[in-house]
Amino acid sequence: MRRNNAELPEGRGQVRQANVQLHSDRRSEILDAARRCFARTGFHQTSMQQICAEAGMSPGNLYRYFPSKEAIIAGIAERDRAEVAAQLADTQFTADFFSTFAALARHHFVERTAEEVGLCAEIMSESRRNPTISKIMNDFDADVKDRLITMLQSAQARGDISRDADISAAVEMLMIIADGVWWRRAVDPNFDAEAVLPMFFDVTKYMLLQRGKGKERDLGRNATADLARAALAGETQ
């Protein structure tokens, strides 16, 4: 019996879609397996064979998806970047900016798993030695920074935070604090991330709610610079 020709493209489309989904699922399984291995034994100590065993696939099959450990790290970073982008895009700040921001901070500081935190510490350490990993991390940081700046600029336009707030400097400090919290979680089993959240919110509000402080900050910077120049010139007592 002849098939209707109109059915063939639809059938091919469904097969293609299923193949794409299968490919995506397998990549995700490999990334999850690698994340567990890296967090457990470290980047250098983990072999591709160990990742294969964790993922339950042969080396030949795994190399079809990722040719190296660096490529796997790139895949993990890209997936995390997409997750952060989606989360920031879906977060609604219209009701109470700081309550919503607090929930976002708690998710990343407290609720992220020890495995995720451990992997982040591993990648941060490896980025100092491996130029490929360093570029991946720098690209990831730049993307997150741009998204946070855009988010805070929107909040500024709505009047949720001060129009005098230095958005770029605030985002830089927020990312430094976030890196520090994750690092402490990775290296100190007694560190309580929940306990530092109130201080983090105080610092955040100080940076974002100052009004009319721009000139005073500039004067302070100028005075500090003048003192430094005087000290170098031997003019201070």
pLDDT digits (tens, 9 = 90+) for 6-48: 554 556 655 455 455 656 778 999 999 998 898 888 888 899 9
Residue-level pLDDT at 197: 93
Distance, in Å, from the CA atom of 159 to the CA atom of 154, rounded to the nearest integer, reads 9
DSSP 56-88: T--HHHHHHH-SSHHHHHHHHHHHHHHHHHHHH
Q: Give the residue carrying structure tokens 């097969």.
A: 15
Residue-level pLDDT at 20: 52
Binned average pLDDT, 10 residues per bin, the chain of 237 residues: 50 54 79 90 89 93 92 87 80 78 90 87 85 88 91 91 94 94 92 94 92 48 50 50
CB 187 within 8 A of CB 117: no
CB 208 within 8 A of CB 170: yes
Residue-level pLDDT at 202: 93
CA 182 to the chain's CA centroid: 11
Which regions of 11-164 does DSSP assign to beta strands (E)?
none
The model scores a pTM over 0.75: no
Residue-level pLDDT at 93: 67
DSSP assigned state of 130? -
CB 93 within 8 A of CB 101: yes
Distance, in Å, from the CA atom of 83 to the CA atom of 34, rounded to the nearest integer, reads 18
CB 38 within 8 A of CB 122: yes
